[in-house]
Structure formats: structure tokens, C-alpha cells
Amino acid sequence: MTTILAAGDHFVRNSLLTEHIRPVAPEATVRELTLPWPVEPFGAVAEVDEASGTEDQLIEALDGVDICVTQMAPLTERVLDASPGLRLFCVGRGGPVNANLAAATRHGVAVTFAPGRNATATAEHTVALMLAATRRVPATHQDLTAGVWRGDYYRYDSVGPELAGSTVGIVGHGAIGSRVARIVHGFGARVLVADPYVDGAGLAQADPVELVGLPELMRRSSFVTVHARATAGTERLLSRELIGLMPPGGVLVNCARGSLLDYDAVCDALDEGRLFGAAFDVYPEEPLPPGSRLLRTPHVVMTPHLAGASRQTAHNACALVAGEVGRFLAGRAPAHCANPEVLRTGS
């Protein structure tokens, strides 16, 4: 008899995980552990990042468990040492940053992830931030709630560009960036894409984009949004020099990772009036510290790392991990395995 631990939280709920797992594992015993995220922020747990709960909680819950499905549980060396029966650890997020992949491989545990689960939600949030920044939505809302009616926002030098007819530069043409491209093209924007992993032949014929180098994208785009992965090679991908290439009055958006751009350079450009606005969902340090310069820089729109927060995202995560459970129980290889050497060695 297979035993599955559903280690859900207050977003990817255990009830949703169980609902999706039951059809693929009707005979399995399903246990539940509820982790505190997002009521309590995620953070580092031992050697892994962006995790929720404690090693002790997970060790106790994994006793006698074959499969764990989760979003935030910390799969550490210590947890693996204490869980000899574990064979599959399914992470319902785009990357298994909360799992020690090297240790999992040594223990013969396959780790899977859920690419694209929040792509639509993040793309929609990105465009929402573009519009909020260029139409001054947060500032005007705040004025109205304070009882202030400011008609001076209608001055020519106080209004921003429309998406229609503008050039939007998208850095990264993966699951999220490609969706943003289709959405803004629907608004009537011209779309430029910079992505070293995409060539012209690799673009679908229907993709309404022009593939260019990153400096050219920055020079030509009134709106720039970044959707690259955070790696050592992409740290501060949008540097001070590149941000300085943007046309006057541009808008810069980041819903990817805080390490991807030079925030001080953005703040300087806003303080000096070279950019019209900026909008961020991610930051170099999270939660945003009280002394952050972003809190006192004008024309910045901010949300607290929730671009992927939609009900569909939670259901997508559950469906993707349930698919991996079904494949495992049927003796098939996972669709999205982060440590495929486990499969090759037959550990």
C-alpha cells in the first residue's frame, strides 16, 4: 500500500491536493500536513531556500511515507536521512528551490517540479502593473481615499503612454514572457523580445514579436518587462548601463526575480525624471525592509510577490503534481524531473 503525504499550505491547500491525487491513486493512504505559508513568510530552512515549516515537522510527517506532494516543504539532507522510505518528492512550483537536489539524488529520491503553473497569472499581473504605473492608479486611488480630488493629473507632462502603439520589450520569451507578448499585442503594442535561448526559427509563425538583442530592446522600448530565470549569469541582467538606454518617459516592470535588475539605477532614473514609472512584484530583499529606497522613490508601484496568486495557479499546481504521482505509480518516468540522474541510475 502506497502512503502519500500532502504537505499543503494556505494557498495550495491539502483539500485541493487530495482532490487531484485521489483519481490517480485511489488505493493510496493520504496523510496531511499543513504548512504556515503565506500566513508566515517562507525563508531558508537549513540548506534550502524559500521553504515553509520545520525539518522536525516534516520528518515526523514523513514516517512511513513513499511520496510527498507539496509546494513549500523543506527537503533537506537531515529530512532525507530520516526518511528512508521516501521515493518521490513533488514540488508544485516552477522550480524546486526548497529541495536539496544533490542530497535527494544520493538518497534515490526523484524530485519533480511544476513548470508553467502560474504563467497565466503572472502574465496578467505583469500587464496590470504596466497599466497601473502608466495610468497612476495607486497614487490617484490614494488621493481619493484621502478626500483629495486632483485634476492636475490631467496635465500633459503628468500623463503616460498608452500600450496601443507603444513598443513593449520583453526580456525572456518563456511560458510567461510569451503570454505577455500575446496580451500586449492584443492592446495594439509592437513587441520586441530578447532571449538568448530563442532564435527566429524557434518562434511560432503566429508569434507577434521581433527578436532583437538586449541593448536594442532597451533603446527601442517604452515599456520593458523582465521574465528571465535567476541564475549567476542573469544577476543584474538589467544593469545601470542598459536601464540608461531606455527612452525618456519609459516604464520598467519586474515580476520575475529581484536579482535581475539594478534597483538603485531604476530609482535614480525615476528621481531624475528619465523614467515615467516602474512597477515591481519582486525585490532584492523580501520582505521589503523598512529603509528601502523604493519606499521613498516617486512613481513606483509595488505588490508583495503575488503575481502568481490566482485560484487557477493553485489548481494547476495540484494537477501537475498529481500527474507525476500517477506516472510514478504506473512505473513511468516523471514529466518534469529536476534530478533525472536518479532515473538513469535506477537508484
Average pLDDT over the chain reads 96
Instruction: Flag whether pLDDT at 135 surpasses 90.
Output: yes
Pick the range with the lowest mean pLDDT from 77-91, 194-208, 246-260. Answer: 194-208
What average pLDDT does this structure show over 256-260?
96
Confidence of residue 159 (pLDDT cuts 50, 70, 90): very high
The answer to whether residue 83 scores a pLDDT higher than 90 is yes
d(CA 73, CA 14): 13
Cell of 182: 500575446
**Domains of the chain, residue spans:** 3-117+310-345, 119-302
Active site residue 324: no
- How large is the average pLDDT for residues 52-57? 98
291 exposure class (CB count in 10 Å sphere: 0-12, 13-18, 19+): exposed
Instruction: Answer yes or no: CATH 3.40.630.10 is held by domain 3-117+310-345.
Output: no
User: What's the average model confidence in pLDDT over 127-140?
Assistant: 97
pLDDT at 277 > cutoff 80: yes
For the 119-302 domain, the top CATH level (class) is alpha beta
Q: Which of 32, 210, 216, 286 is catalytic?
A: 286
Determine the average pLDDT of the residues in 128-143. Answer: 97
What's the mean pLDDT in 292-314? 97
Please enumerate in sequence order all residues whose Cβ is within 8 A of that of 206, keeping only pairs 6 or more positions apart, or say none.
Answer: none
Q: What is the band of 202 on the pLDDT scale with cuts at 50, 70, 90?
A: low
Say if residue 13's pLDDT is above 80.
yes
State the Cα angle at 324 between 322 and 330, rounded to 5°: 105
Q: What is the pLDDT of residue 206?
A: 59
Q: What is the pTM of this model?
A: 0.92
Q: Is 305 a catalytic residue?
A: yes
One of 227, 257, 299, 336 is an active-site residue; which one? 257
Share of the chain above pLDDT 70, in %: 97
Q: 123: buried, middle or exposed (CB in 10 Å: 19+, 13-18, 0-12)?
A: buried
**The pLDDT of residue 169:** 98
Q: What is the 3-state secondary structure (H, E, C) of 129-174?
A: HHHHHHCCHHHHHHHHHCCCCCHHHHCHHHCCCCCCCCEEEEECCC
Cell 503572472 belongs to 122
Q: What are the Cα distances from residue 4, in Å, to 41, 53, 126?
A: 25, 18, 36
Burial 132-149 (b: 16+ CB within 10 A, else e): bbbebebbeeeeeeeeee
Question: Residue 189 has what pLDDT?
Answer: 98
Cα 261 from Cα 239, distance rounded (Å): 6
Comparing 3-117+310-345 with 119-302, is the CATH topology the same?
A: yes
Half-sphere exposure at residue 4, Cβ-oriented, CA atoms within 13 angstroms: 25
Q: Which of 93, 299, 305, 336 is catalytic?
A: 305
The answer to whether 78 is a known catalytic residue is no
Identify the band that residue 205 occupies on the pLDDT scale cut at 50, 70 and 90. low
| 146, HSE (Cβ side, Cα atoms, 13 Å) | 9
Read off the amino acid at residue 268.
D
Give yes or no for residue 46 having a pLDDT over 90.
Answer: yes
